[in-house]
């Protein structure tokens, strides 16, 4: 399934783009909520920077519950687990920040994530989207995986030049400056039937 | 007893398949529940990846208590201990994920695990079963141990080619994509007599 | 956006000046408050000295809630997250002390931070501003970023000699001895409209 | 006193057999209960495997309070301290598992441990007794210490061949598969007079 | 400001004397109290010995609240932060013990510390003052800083021989055996006007 | 003061005997109680074995409150701090066990420790006194310090041969097997006047 787009719109799971020495790869970010007391668990052999990035995404969402239509006290009523399969592969860096934020909001609002969307970008506590590295390699892997829309930091615009035209024909690159734009692009309306 | 199948269907214990430099081995995953306050203890000289895998299995189960017919607040009423004997042998990797999930569900539902079943597969927070390595060596050790059914990730189908026909005659390989299928295959109805 | 001044007066974000082997840089300090129980989270690949500096800023503010017109029990009602993007860049040293204090007070009083102000200085538990290193390099980066006012420790006055006149023409250097002066210079009146 | 059998049947203390590079040795496992809140303290320069073994013994007992006639909520009402003198000697390995379990049950049930009994065996969460190493050396040290009964894992039966007949004449080797058998052999009826 | 005496009598701040490879130095110990739940925070790049010294000072004060006229339950009602600027300079050793105790008592009793007093000495749990090293170098730095009274351990009396007469003319050396004497010498009556 | 006997019978302080590469030394063990919630703090640059020894002493006392005439719930009402000056000197080993136990019982019962008594011996959870090393060197330092009674493990009897007659004339060696004997020898009746 990895290296492929999701076959359904998923709640609580979003597709990120990773860049390693071996090239680009897609990675799935999974969020699980259970009744609890506000514990945040982060797994998937994540490095310190990636864990901090998850905490920044989490704090941003906590501070914006009104605007995001999330229960204001969700973090006291649920335990939140963010996992990034494949569990044996080390992962690090801040560029999954907006993907983790998207998966979190999806899980908390019951809004599915569009299956054809991949994304990459550091998130800040104010929801800003900061630039990332490896856009070319990430785009190639997104293409291979069958994704059709890539959400990327506006500040990475210059990196689009390096991307082959054949890829640009198939992939819709959407430049974003703030998480609000990410969520608008990536999330569907709430799923009522669970 | 190790290197052998269980002699009885056990509650709270499932048989996994490990792959080490020394070849394949079977390993027993034990789960013990006691009245408590939700503490999760992991022992048996487990590496970080294996511990994270246990947490993923645990979170998956917590988020699916309705479907699995488990008390929704079990994690607040019990302490859960997952142990993997033999305690002096280091163990790591994500491939025991579905075995840990199965032993947990068995302990929580009072459903015995079929003694003739061994299994291997990474689990994700959504219950998906991801591919693993060493299927050939694991199958040989399962055969030696007298198991007759092997639950394996569907994505490992190609690895079946490498397995000798003599083994395939004795072992029933069942390809699974989701933990639901694992539980259907591995668990018996609840044991009422305790 | 980095290497640039803020485009708006921000609540809960202040601009500091960093000095690394690669020269000077501006850095944004972000503070996020959420309903909580008093947990302080520090992220952004911060070294121990920088984390301790944040704690000193935090304790100073806690001990001066009356004078700063902050709810006396804010630290019991909110969780506070201080983050310093860019998350992959290691940061350390005590010179962001007054910037962290300013961002904290801004978030707690709803007073925006003037977007044209950058600052550098160690803070003590009594709110004193101690001298820092690299004022020249920091000033050059502040200039490049379009800032117009620099708050600097009074004890660094002698370092002004090394700064080129062309920079001094554009930058207003304000010497400060205590955080009270920093806050007077950096903060606007409370923003009422949120 | 070490290197000797106990001079009285003790409550909360059992004699194990250790195997080190220097040969076999006896070691005393002590358990102390005090009114508390369920804290488990492990001391005596114990390695990680030995600590995990203690936790497995503890969880087994917690999950079997009914059968063992122990107060079901003992772990919430007492703090439990397991100590292995001599405090300067490093100790590790899983083979003291059944000894720790026996000392714990003794302390919790007020049943003295027979002073002439030594034991060795790994314990699992289901109370099974797994094989250990160094039975020969352990037996020699048990003999020197004046013990007369050795409880050993049934799976170690083959190792009895290596033990000199002179030792076998003095020592009664009892093969055990489950902790229930260990407790039957090692514990006397409850001591009523404290 | 460092390397200088305080310009005012301070509440919650006392001047210690440090001895490093680079010679002697004065250092300021700051204490901040905020409403809280008894947390003790120690910052300023302090080594383990210096942190333990702070804990000893803290415990001594907690055990002597009656004699010191401190609220008996202060440690449950306040969080206490002890900070030693300059935050980037590593500091260690037990000789700041009495300085930390003095700053703590000052903060807890609202009694200012005389600005002309510097001090050095290890503290024990019984309030005894133990000898320290580097008295000569410490005295030179105290002199440079404009201090006029030095509180020193009585057991260091012999070290006074090494101190130049020119220094002895300006500095009043007061030998102390117990913290009671330190507090008598260093603290002014309570400041009523806050 | 170190290297000397106490000048008064102290409550909450006992004199131990240490053995280092530099020879023997006396060391003072201090115990401070403050109203609290049962926290045990151990300071004085203590190694792991010495910390575990303190915990064993503490657990022994907790389990024997009736016999020792100590409030049964003392560990819930007080915080206990054990400190071993001089804070910069590393200390380790189990031989201060009975000294720590004695200082603890002294503090908890208000019974002064005889100032002329020094002691050495490992303690177990059952209050047994185990043998130690360096009795000769310890005795010489005790003699130098002006102590007149040494409590030593009965199992170290053979080591008395090595001690010079001139020392034996001045020092009264008392062999002990259990902490009860230590307390009988070392403690005076309760001090009523505080
Ligand atoms: Ca992949
Ligand atoms: Ca809000
Ligand atoms: Ca095996
Ligand atoms: Ca559910
Ligand atoms: Ca930058
Ligand atoms: Ca105030
Ligand atoms: Ca021994
Ligand atoms: Ca039961
Ligand atoms: Ca200085
Ligand atoms: Ca008192
Ligand atoms: Ca000494
Ligand atoms: Ca008792």
Which runs of consecutive H residues, i.e. helices, occur in E40-124?
A: 48-63, 65-68, 74-77, 97-109
The CATH class, in words, for B13-183 is alpha beta
- Which residues of C are less than 8 Å from A59 in CB distance? 32, 34, 41, 79, 81, 83
| Active-site annotation holder among A95, A106, A139, A141 | A95
CA nearest neighbour of B102 among B26, B31, B46, B168: B31
pLDDT at B2 over 50: no
Of C133, C147, C63, the closest CA to residue C104 belongs to C63
Burial class (CB in 10 A: 0-12, 13-18, 19+), B73: middle
Residue among A72, A124, A134, A179 with most chain C CBs within 10 A, to mutate? A124
Half-sphere exposure of A144 (CA within 13 A, CB side): 15
**Please, which chains are in contact with C (at least 3 CB pairs closer than 8 A)?**
A, E
Q: Ligand 4 mean position to A70 CA, how many Å?
A: 18
- Helix (H) / strand (E) element for F167: namely helix F165-170
Describe the crossing of helices D97-109 and D179-186 by its angle, rounded to 10 degrees.
Answer: 60
Bridge partners of B33, per DSSP, are B80
Buried b or exposed e, range D26-58, using 16+ CB within 10 angstroms = bbbbbbbbbebebeebbbbbbeebbbbbbbbbb
- Contact yes or no for C81 and A97 at CB 8 A: no
| Tokens linked to F20 | 């280092």
Q: Which helix (H) or strand (E) holds A62?
A: helix A48-62
First-last CA distance in chain A? 24
Residues of C whose CB is below 8 A from A129: none
Peptide bond into F86 cis (omega under 30): yes
**Residue B1: is its pLDDT beyond 80?**
no
- In D, minimum Cα distance to B37 occurs at D76
Residue-level pLDDT at A193: 58
Is residue E165 packed enough to be buried (19+ CB in 10 Å), middle (13-18) or exposed (0-12)? exposed
Nearest C-alpha in A relative to C80: A59
Helix or strand run (H / E) with residue E168: helix E165-170
Instruction: Please provide residue D25's backbone torsions phi and psi, each rounded to the nearest 5 degrees.
Output: -155, 155
Residue D1 in this model has a pLDDT that exceeds 50: no
Say how many Å lie between the CA of residue B68 and the centre of ligand 8: 22
Is the pLDDT at D6 greater than 90, yes or no?
Answer: no
Nearest to D101 by CA among D85, D121, D116, D115: D121
E88–C49 CB contact, under 8 Å? yes
Helix/strand/coil (H/E/C) assignment for every residue in D42-105: EECCECHHHHHHHHHHHHHHHHCHHHHCCCCCHHHHEEEEEECCCCCCCECCCCCHHHHHHHHH
Separation of alpha carbons E162 and C30, rounded Å? 53
Average pLDDT over residues C152-164: 97
- The C-alpha of F131 sits at a distance from chain D's nearest C-alpha, in angstroms, of 9
User: Which chains have 3+ CB pairs within 8 A of A?
Assistant: B, C
**In chain F, what are the domain boundaries?**
13-184
Confidence at residue A7, expressed as pLDDT on a 0 to 100 scale: 79
Measured on CA atoms in the order D58, D59, D61, D65, is the torsion positive or negative? positive
Identity of the residue in E52, E63, E75 whose CB atom sits nearest the CB atom of F33: E63
Quick check: B164 and B187 in contact, CB under 8 A?
A: no
Judge whether residue B8 has pLDDT over 50.
yes
In 3-state terms, what secondary structure has residue E19? strand
Ligand 10 centroid–CA F186 distance in Å is: 24
Determine whether the interchain pair C87/A63 forms a contact, defined as Cβ–Cβ distance below 8 Å. Answer: no
CA distance linking residue D18 with residue D132, whole number of Å: 10
Q: Which residues of C touch A93 (CB under 8 A)?
A: 88
Does B136 qualify as catalytic in the annotation?
Answer: no
| Short-list F92, F23, F179, F84, CA closest to D87 | F92
Among D68, D130, D63, D62, which residue's Cα sits nearest to residue D96? Answer: D130
Strands B23-35 and B13-20, bridge-based pairing: antiparallel
Is C83 in Cβ contact with A125 (below 8 Å)? yes
DSSP string, B3-60: TS--SS-BSSEEEEEEEETTEEEEEEEEEEEEESSS-EEEESSB-HHHHHHHHHHHHH
How far, in Å, CA of D85 to CA of D76, rounded? 26
- Residue C3 confidence (pLDDT): 60
pLDDT at C23 over 90: no
The string of pLDDT tens digits covering residues A149-192 is 999 999 999 999 999 999 999 999 999 999 999 999 999 998 77
Opening angle at CA E58, ends E54 and E61, nearest 5: 140
pLDDT band at F193 (very low <50, low <70, confident <90, very high): low
D5 pLDDT band, cuts 50/70/90, is: confident
Which residues lie below 8 Å from residue F133, measured CB to CB, with a gap of 6+? F19, F95
Residues of chain D contacting B79 with CB distance shorter than 8 Å: 59, 62
Cβ separation of A130 and C30 shorter than 8 Å?
A: no
- Give F46→chain D minimum CA distance, Å: 13
The percentage of residues in chain E with a pLDDT greater than 70, rounded to a whole number, is 96
Of C75, C122, C126, Cβ closest to residue E87: C122
Backbone angles phi, psi at C193, to 5 degrees: -90, 10
Binding-site residues on chain F for chain D (CB distance < 8 A):
48-49, 52-53, 55-56, 59-60, 62-63, 72-73, 75, 93-94, 97, 122, 124-126, 128, 130, 155
DSSP state of F113: B
Least CA distance to F81: which residue of chain E?
E59
> CB–CB of A125 and C2 under 8 A?
no
Q: What is the pLDDT of residues A36-91, one digit of tens each?
A: 999 999 999 999 999 999 999 999 999 999 999 999 999 899 999 999 999 999 99
Going by the DSSP 8-state scheme, the letter that residue A85 receives in this structure is S
Mutate to test the interface with A, among C9, C12, C86, C88 (most CBs of A within 10 A): C88
Residue E106 pLDDT level (bands cut at 50, 70, 90): very high
Residues counted in chain F? 194
Among the partner-chain residues D53, D62, D126, the one whose CB lies closest to the CB of B13 is D126
At B127, is the secondary structure helix, strand, or coil? coil
List the single best residue of E42, E87, E104, E106 to mutate versus C (max C Cβ within 10 A).
E87
From the CA of E15, how many Å to the nearest CA of chain F?
A: 20
Parallel, antiparallel or unpaired: strands C122-123 and C129-130: antiparallel
Cβ contact C1–A130 (<8 Å)? yes
Predicted ipTM of the assembly: 0.93
* Structure-block tokens of residue F169: 């004339």
Is the predicted pLDDT of residue F1 greater than 80, yes or no?
no
* Confidence tier at A21 by pLDDT (50, 70, 90): confident
CB burial of residue E126 (10 Å; 0-12, 13-18, 19+): buried
In the prediction, which pLDDT does C193 show?
Answer: 58
Quote the tokens at residue B66.
């309705």
Query: Measured between alpha carbons, how far is A77 from A75 in angstroms, rounded to an integer?
Result: 6
Chains that touch F (3 or more CB pairs under 8 A): D, E
Run of H or E residues at D184: helix D179-186
Residue C30 to chain A, least CA–CA distance (Å)? 6
Query: Which residues have C-beta within 8 Å of that of residue C22, sequence separation ≥ 6?
Result: none
Task: Average the pLDDT over C60-74 and give the result.
Answer: 95
Cis peptide before E86 (omega within 30 of 0): yes
H or E stretch including D173? strand D172-176
Under 8 Å CB pairs connecting chains D and F tally to 68
Among the CATH numbers 1.10.1740.10, 3.30.1330.10, 3.90.79.10, 3.30.230.10, which is that of D13-185?
3.30.230.10
Nearest-CA distance from A2 to chain C in Å?
A: 26
Task: Select A13-182's CATH number: 3.90.1150.10, 3.30.230.10, 2.60.40.10, 3.10.20.30.
Answer: 3.30.230.10
Which residue in B76, B125, B130, B175 has the most chain A C-beta atoms within 10 A of its own C-beta, making it the best mutation to test that interface?
B125
- Rounded to 5 degrees, what are φ and ψ at C135? -60, -40
pLDDT of B54 > 90? The answer is yes
Q: Measured between beta carbons, which residues in chain B are less than 8 angstroms from residue D124?
A: 28, 30, 83, 85
Rg (chain D; Cα; Å): 15
Question: Which of the residues B40, B43, B45 would you substitute to probe the D interface, choosing the one with the greatest number of D C-beta atoms within 10 Å?
Answer: B43
The catalytic position among C53, C95, C106, C139 is C95
D–F contact: 3+ Cβ pairs < 8 A:
yes
Contacts of D43 in chain F (CB under 8 A): 52, 55-56
Does the domain at F13-184 match CATH 3.40.50.150? Answer given as no
How far apart CA E92 and CA E20 sit, in angstroms, is 9
Q: Work out the pLDDT band at D9, boundaries 50, 70, 90.
A: confident
**Average pLDDT along chain F:** 94
C45 is catalytic: no
Percentage of chain C modeled with pLDDT above 90: 89
Beta bridge partners of A150: A118, A173
Write the DSSP string, D6-39.
-SS-BSSEEEEEEEETTEEEEEEEEEEEEESSS-
In contact, C13 and A124? CB cutoff 8 Å = no
Catalytic annotation, pick one of B28, B95, B106, B141? B95
Q: Cα(D133)–Cα(A102) distance, rounded to whole angstroms?
A: 53
Comparing CA positions, the residue from A111, A156, A112, A114 lying closest to residue A138 is A156
User: What is the chain C residue with the closest CA to E44?
Assistant: C52
Q: Is the dihedral of CA E89, E95, E96, E97 positive or negative?
A: positive
Check whether D147 has a pLDDT greater than 80. Answer: yes
- Residue A92 tokens read as 């690090």
Cβ(A81)–Cβ(A100) under 8 Å?
Answer: no
Partner-chain residue, chosen from C75, C94, C126, that has the shortest CB–CB distance to E87 = C94
Dist CA D112 CA A160 (whole Å): 78
Distance of CA C13 to the CA centre of its chain: 8
Nearest-CA distance B88 → chain D (Å): 6
Is pLDDT of E1 > 70? no
Is pLDDT above 70 for E4? no
Contact: chain C with chain A (3+ CB pairs below 8 Å): yes
pLDDT tens-place string over residues F110-119? 999 999 999 9
Whether the per-residue pLDDT at C81 is higher than 90: the answer is yes
- Give strand ranges (E) for C44-119: 78-83, 117-119
Contacts of B52 in chain A (CB under 8 A): 43-45, 83, 87
CA neighbor of C142 nearest in space, from C113, C107, C115: C115
**Closest alpha carbon to F29 in F111, F109, F119, F135:** F119
């Amino acid at each position: 399934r990895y290296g492929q787009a999701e076959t359904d719109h998923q709640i609580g799971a979003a597709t990120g783009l990773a860049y390693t020495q071996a090239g680009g790869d897609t990675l799935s970010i999974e969020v699980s909520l259970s009744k609890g007391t506000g514990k945040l668990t982060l797994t998937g052999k994540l490095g310190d920077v990636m864990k901090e990035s998850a905490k920044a995404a989490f704090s941003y969402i906590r501070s914006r519950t009104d605007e995001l239509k999330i229960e204001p006290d969700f973090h006291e009523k649920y335990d939140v687990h963010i996992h990034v399969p494949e569990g044996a592969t080390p992962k690090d860096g801040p560029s999954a920040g907006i993907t983790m934020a998207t998966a979190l909001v999806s899980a908390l609002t019951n809004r599915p994530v569009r299956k054809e969307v991949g994304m990459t970008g550091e998130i800040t506590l104010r929801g800003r989207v900061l630039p990332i590295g490896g856009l070319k390699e990430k785009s190639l892997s997104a293409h291979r995986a069958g994704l059709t829309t890539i959400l990327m930091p506006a500040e990475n615009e210059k990196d689009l030049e390096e991307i082959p035209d054949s890829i640009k024909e198939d992939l819709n690159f959407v430049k974003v400056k703030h998480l609000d734009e990410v969520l608008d692009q990536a999330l569907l309306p709430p799923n009522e039937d669970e």
